[in-house]
Chains A and B, each alone.
Chain A
Amino acid sequence: MSPDASSAPAVSCRALRKVYPGAEPVVALESLDLEVAAGESLALVGESGSGKSTLLHLVGGIDRPTSGEIRVAGRSIASLAERELVLYRRRDVGMVFQFFNLLPHLTVLENVELPRRLDGGPDAAERAARLLERVGLGRRGAAHPYELSGGEMQRVAIARALATGARLLLADEPTGNLDSRNGEEVLGLLDEIRRERGVTLLLATHSAAAAARADRTVAMKDGRLSR
């Protein structure tokens, strides 16, 4: 499914700024403007410390900007109250992390069920089973994360990110901890799912190979978009 440039952007950032306080404040993002079309896959590339992860965290609602605006599907999320932000994270966006961030004491199936269970969905187990099947781990539902390889864990994380039907997928260095073969598999999976479900994908990476798969690539340096 191709990005729909004619409809409202899936993600829109205006004059976005993020400063981490401290003895010497760190400006992670500075006056950043960005738009991502619905269904587009956008790669954010840059060195460590360029602000890629920070941008994803702000768009994902797990951190708040110091100033500026973020709109997702037309809704401003920077000003959402805590309770609404929790629902946003649960229903509207799915995140995939570099370190997988699976819960080690839950089974693979339970990890994928969790967001839907938090939402009170009665079909959490069935949806999770279908998603695991889709990512090729239908038979590993009873295993625990520590029994899986890195690539398998990342596929579980992708399944979890889709559990509540989110339309926006944010992947922060999803192949950073994987070998090239597993990395390729994960990137391929993300691509397939994006096209199947028409989700918008923002991918932070310093891998050229990962960036090459995206519809568009944006470079970042020192908290700004660089040309």
Chain B
Amino acid sequence: MNGFPLVFRALITGPARRHPVRILLPILGVAIGVAAVAAIHHANRSVTASFENAAASIAGRSDFVVTGVTGVPVAQLAALGFLWKIGSFAPAVTGPAVLEEGPREGEHEVAQVLGIDWGGDGAVREVRLVAPAGPGARTALARPGSVFVSAPFAARHDLAPGSTLAVVAGGQRRRVAIGGILELSGVARASGGDILLTDVFTAQELLGKKGLVDRVDIVLDPGVSRKDAAREIALHLPAGLSLEPPGRAAETAGRMVRAFRFNLNALGSLTLLVGIFLITNAVSIAVLRRRPEIATLRAIGAPRTVIFAAFLAEGLAIGVAGTLGGEVLGFFVSRAALSAVGGTVSSIYLPTARIAGAAYGGAVALSAAVGLAAAVAATLLPAIEATRVAPSPAMRPGSIEGVARRRLRPRALAAVAALGGAWALSRGGPVDGFPLFGFAAVGLVVVALGLAAPLLVRLGAKGPGRLLAGAVGVEGRLAAGFFGGGLARNGIAVTALAMALGMTLAMIVTVASIRETVRVWVESTLRSDLWVKADAGGRSGVVGDLAPEIVPFLERFEGVAAVDPFRAREVLDAAARPFTLGSGDFRVVARVGGLPLLDGADPRPVALAARERGEVLVSEPFARRYRAAAGSTVSVPTPTGPRPFRVAGVYRDYSNDRGTVVMDRALYLGIFGDARVTSVAVLAAPGVDPTALRRRILAAAQGRFAISVSTNRELRREALAIFDRTFAVTRALEAIAIGVAVLGIANALAASAVERRRAFGLLRAIGAAGGQIRRATLYEAVLTGLVGTAAAAAAGAAFAWLLLGVINPQSFGWTVALRVPWATLAEASGLVLAASFLAGVVPGRIAAAVNPAAALAEE
């Protein structure tokens, strides 16, 4: 391209060398965005990889896995004898165990119990013993109650063969003997090495799974066709059992956290979006400032392609520099992100999940590609704008903003069209469970904002500008003039601020609404006085289950009026999507309520009728996903195959987004034969103090059950604490986005101050004091902040409507009641306004320092 180096220097590097700050700000914006994308991608990828590694460690060399809704009855293992013709198979029992002791005070780890058949497991899983050595090592496993642990686990807990370990498993306290130490390879890598490997019988005993195994792994002989084998197995498989690929467990786990990860990615992309705006801001301002030079170049014969290439190259250079900085920053930020995301996944979704950092290369590659692509995309419009600079009019000073003024009406119409498009897209349903149309609608609102911004600047100069002039006099008038005189430039700054602040305001409203909805739901749902679960060592949520004997123990306890034993299991629908199958005593619900129905009806008669008719209640997320409603039929997998149930009602449930089907406990026991309990709600008799009752229950349970008992108040607090932890990451991202946007204002104001040297020189020449010009620039900054904040309020309302009405329901299946925390919104807006004011300080000084003689000599 002839002449490109000179043109590039004339338009880009020359000006950048004189005013490097204008380039540094967009580079910083891109760096922050790239770091956020890299960190979140790495965290999400680590979650997926950890699930896959864990599943692979457990599955070993298996080609298929046989599972059942409530596990595989040992009695049915004999029916699998035909498998010896085509390969080998080995049963396994799995479940969580909470360690009673830990290396750090107050922290109780969760390990995974895995019971295998030592005789036949060798074909499936790899186990390498470190200690004890010698031929008798494996016989140590035959000793009842002994377990093998990985070397790092043993080191951390100061264990050796012969020592013992206190655990809570199956709702009881146990002491297991350490039979040996494993090398951290093969099956020992499951749960990040936090595994208690034992024989099937010990695991059944520990976990209360007598007569059941959780899985049967099948390894085919060499040369056996997988397809043929699958067909033959399916023919012989007893009813109620299913054949799965070994990776299914990882897939299921991944699906459980899919919505969470998707929304995290979307939020991470927000910071990059603001970074993109900063690039567009910087390059657009560069185009505006360089219009006379562009016009001159065009007049002396520079083709449009060279002009386009010069600005595109600038955007690319900003993208490269920002991406490089972002990769370095992201490397450090990713650790914090991994900890936050991993913690949330473990505490809310999967207690035994160990999220280890995956290889960082993927995050680097993705964020680099995204950063560069974003930089190029951000530069396209301003670069195209640059090619449209006509030589003739633009060479006249003062003609820059005339173009912007002429385009106001078409832009306003286009903005309205974009809003209409957003509304239309919001009508679209989820795509494979993802709110893609919802996010596209958010994108169109951003486009509408960008199109309308110059008009907003004009209105701001006329409306608030006049008020400002009335309030503070001539400085206000000047400020209104400066502000309104920079439609294109200030329009970009207003857009960036409105977008970042608008999304933040929307998130504030969304989080407050969800939190209040959850709080009200918790209040109305948690009717019990006490809540009993297996002792999880102080961890929130449920880890492990309780023996059936806990129910009569509590029912017969003095001071207890009623108990509602709740059982929850994760099951898969016909398309292998996970949902929760639960059971509870509908008689208790019929007595006290505590199951808020979507249609507002009284849940008590509904629960009673459901119990009598063998019907089920489904949660709102389930109803949305499967289009269920009162009166419709849902299919539930049972030990004898899928079975239809009529839906008695749909209830609000914010405890999980996978969806829940609940049936009466008697019906559940009859179908599934699973008497174990996940948790028990206890109603105290009238006049009985719940706190005292708790003390007595715990004392009586000593030595029999390992339980923790929470009061109603503690439970509510815990539920909200889990919620707050889930949304902690979003707050960090919001703060970043706002910071980057305010940098954009500073950038625009600084550019404006330099650009208007002649105007400031003229003002000084006719008697304006430096202080008056400084104040005028500060007021312009305030006007920019005010108009940006007003635009943010409108955009935020649109974003909040989309988040609450479209994206959240389609992601999580929840209906959320609107709550507007006015005080918090005012605080956030006030902070931004204050920051906008501060952004005007340095430009104000630049403006006040203009030498009138020098500036006017340029006239």
| Chain A residues at the B interface, C-beta cutoff of 8 Å | 57, 60, 62-63, 82-83, 86-91, 95, 97, 99, 101-106, 110, 113-115, 117-120, 160, 164
A-B contact pairs, 26 of them (CB 8 A): A57-B392, A62-B298, A62-B390, A63-B390, A63-B392, A89-B301, A90-B301, A90-B302, A99-B395, A101-B292, A101-B299, A101-B395, A102-B296, A103-B14, A105-B9, A105-B13, A105-B15, A106-B6, A110-B10, A114-B10, A114-B300, A117-B6, A118-B300, A118-B306, A119-B301, A160-B300
Residue in A closest to B17 when the chains form the complex, CB atoms: A105
Q: How far is the CA of A106 from the CA of B8 in the complex (A)?
A: 10
- Chain B residues whose CB sits within 8 angstroms of the CB of A99 once the complex forms: 395, 397
Q: How far is the CA of A113 from the CA of B6 in the complex (A)?
A: 9
Residue in B closest to A88 when the chains form the complex, CB atoms: B301
- Chain A residues whose CB sits within 8 angstroms of the CB of B391 once the complex forms: 57, 62-63, 89
Identify the 9 closest CB pairs spanning chains A and B, nearest first: A105-B14, A90-B301, A62-B391, A118-B3, A63-B392, A120-B2, A117-B3, A103-B10, A101-B296
Q: How far is the CA of A117 from the CA of B297 in the complex (A)?
A: 12
Residue in B closest to A92 when the chains form the complex, CB atoms: B301
Would you list which residues of chain B between 302 and 321 have a CB under 8 Å from chain A? 302-304, 306
Residue in B closest to A101 when the chains form the complex, CB atoms: B296
B94, chain A: closest CB distance, angstroms: 69
- Chain A residues whose CB sits within 8 angstroms of the CB of B301 once the complex forms: 86-91, 115, 118-119, 164
- Chain B residues whose CB sits within 8 angstroms of the CB of A88 once the complex forms: 301
Partner of B299, one of A87, A89, A113: A89
- Chain B residues whose CB sits within 8 angstroms of the CB of A115 once the complex forms: 300-301
- Chain A residues whose CB sits within 8 angstroms of the CB of B395 once the complex forms: 97, 99, 101
A115, chain B: closest CB distance, angstroms: 5
Residue in B closest to A83 when the chains form the complex, CB atoms: B303
Residue in A closest to B397 when the chains form the complex, CB atoms: A99
B293 at interface, CB cutoff 8 A = yes
Contact: A62 with B15, CB < 8 Å?
no
- Chain A residues whose CB sits within 8 angstroms of the CB of B6 once the complex forms: 106, 110, 113-114, 117
Contact code string B319-331 (vs A, CB < 8 Å = 1, else 0): 0000000000000
A64, chain B: closest CB distance, angstroms: 9
Q: How far is the CA of A23 from the CA of B189 in the complex (A)?
A: 77
- Chain B residues whose CB sits within 8 angstroms of the CB of A104 once the complex forms: 14, 293
Residue in A closest to B299 when the chains form the complex, CB atoms: A62
Partner of B296, one of A60, A103, A118: A103
Contact code string B371-409 (vs A, CB < 8 Å = 1, else 0): 000000000000000000011100101000000000000
Give the interface residue-count category, chain B: 20 to 34
Contact: B2 with A119, CB < 8 Å?
yes
| Chain B residues at the A interface, C-beta cutoff of 8 Å | 2-3, 6-7, 9-11, 13-15, 17-18, 292-293, 295-304, 306, 390-392, 395, 397
A36, chain B: closest CB distance, angstroms: 20
A51, chain B: closest CB distance, angstroms: 13
Contact: B299 with A95, CB < 8 Å?
yes
Interface centre among B7, B10, B297, B300 (most CB of A within 10 A): B300
- Chain A residues whose CB sits within 8 angstroms of the CB of B293 once the complex forms: 103-104
- Chain B residues whose CB sits within 8 angstroms of the CB of A160 once the complex forms: 300
Q: How far is the CA of A160 from the CA of B18 in the complex (A)?
A: 25
- Chain B residues whose CB sits within 8 angstroms of the CB of A83 once the complex forms: 303
Q: How far is the CA of A105 from the CA of B15 in the complex (A)?
A: 7
* New A-B pairs, 19, CB < 8 Å, besides A63-B392, A105-B13, A119-B301: A57-B391, A62-B392, A63-B391, A82-B304, A86-B303, A89-B391, A95-B300, A101-B295, A101-B296, A103-B297, A105-B14, A110-B6, A114-B302, A117-B6, A118-B2, A118-B3, A118-B301, A119-B3, A164-B301
- Chain A residues whose CB sits within 8 angstroms of the CB of B10 once the complex forms: 103, 105-106, 110, 114
Interface of B (DSSP majority class): helix
Residue in A closest to B16 when the chains form the complex, CB atoms: A105
Residue in B closest to A85 when the chains form the complex, CB atoms: B301
Q: How far is the CA of A105 from the CA of B310 in the complex (A)?
A: 14
- Chain B residues whose CB sits within 8 angstroms of the CB of A87 once the complex forms: 301
- Chain B residues whose CB sits within 8 angstroms of the CB of A90 once the complex forms: 300-302
Residue in B closest to A150 when the chains form the complex, CB atoms: B857
B492, chain A: closest CB distance, angstroms: 23
Known: A101-B395, A114-B6. A106 touches B300 (CB 8 A): no
B598, chain A: closest CB distance, angstroms: 58
- Chain A residues whose CB sits within 8 angstroms of the CB of B13 once the complex forms: 105
Q: How far is the CA of A219 from the CA of B327 in the complex (A)?
A: 66
A110, chain B: closest CB distance, angstroms: 6
Q: How far is the CA of A106 from the CA of B293 in the complex (A)?
A: 11
- Chain B residues whose CB sits within 8 angstroms of the CB of A106 once the complex forms: 6, 9-10, 14
Interface centre among A99, A102, A120, A160 (most CB of B within 10 A): A99
Residue in B closest to A119 when the chains form the complex, CB atoms: B2
Q: How far is the CA of A102 from the CA of B293 in the complex (A)?
A: 8
Q: How far is the CA of A60 from the CA of B397 in the complex (A)?
A: 20
Q: How far is the CA of A91 from the CA of B9 in the complex (A)?
A: 22
- Chain B residues whose CB sits within 8 angstroms of the CB of A118 once the complex forms: 2-3, 7, 300-303, 306
B454, chain A: closest CB distance, angstroms: 18
Q: How far is the CA of A117 from the CA of B3 in the complex (A)?
A: 5
- Chain A residues whose CB sits within 8 angstroms of the CB of B303 once the complex forms: 83, 86, 118
Q: How far is the CA of A102 from the CA of B390 in the complex (A)?
A: 17
A53, chain B: closest CB distance, angstroms: 9
- Chain A residues whose CB sits within 8 angstroms of the CB of B14 once the complex forms: 103-106
B207, chain A: closest CB distance, angstroms: 75
Interface centre among B301, B304, B392 (most CB of A within 10 A): B301
- Chain B residues whose CB sits within 8 angstroms of the CB of A120 once the complex forms: 2-3
Partner of B3, one of A63, A89, A91, A114: A114
Q: How far is the CA of A26 from the CA of B633 in the complex (A)?
A: 75
A99, chain B: closest CB distance, angstroms: 8
Q: How far is the CA of A110 from the CA of B10 in the complex (A)?
A: 10
- Chain B residues whose CB sits within 8 angstroms of the CB of A86 once the complex forms: 298, 301-304
A131, chain B: closest CB distance, angstroms: 14
Contact: A117 with B2, CB < 8 Å?
yes
Residue in A closest to B857 when the chains form the complex, CB atoms: A150
- Chain B residues whose CB sits within 8 angstroms of the CB of A63 once the complex forms: 390-392
Q: How far is the CA of A86 from the CA of B3 in the complex (A)?
A: 14
Q: How far is the CA of A82 from the CA of B292 in the complex (A)?
A: 20
B15, chain A: closest CB distance, angstroms: 6
Q: How far is the CA of A125 from the CA of B11 in the complex (A)?
A: 20
Interface centre among B6, B11, B303, B304 (most CB of A within 10 A): B6
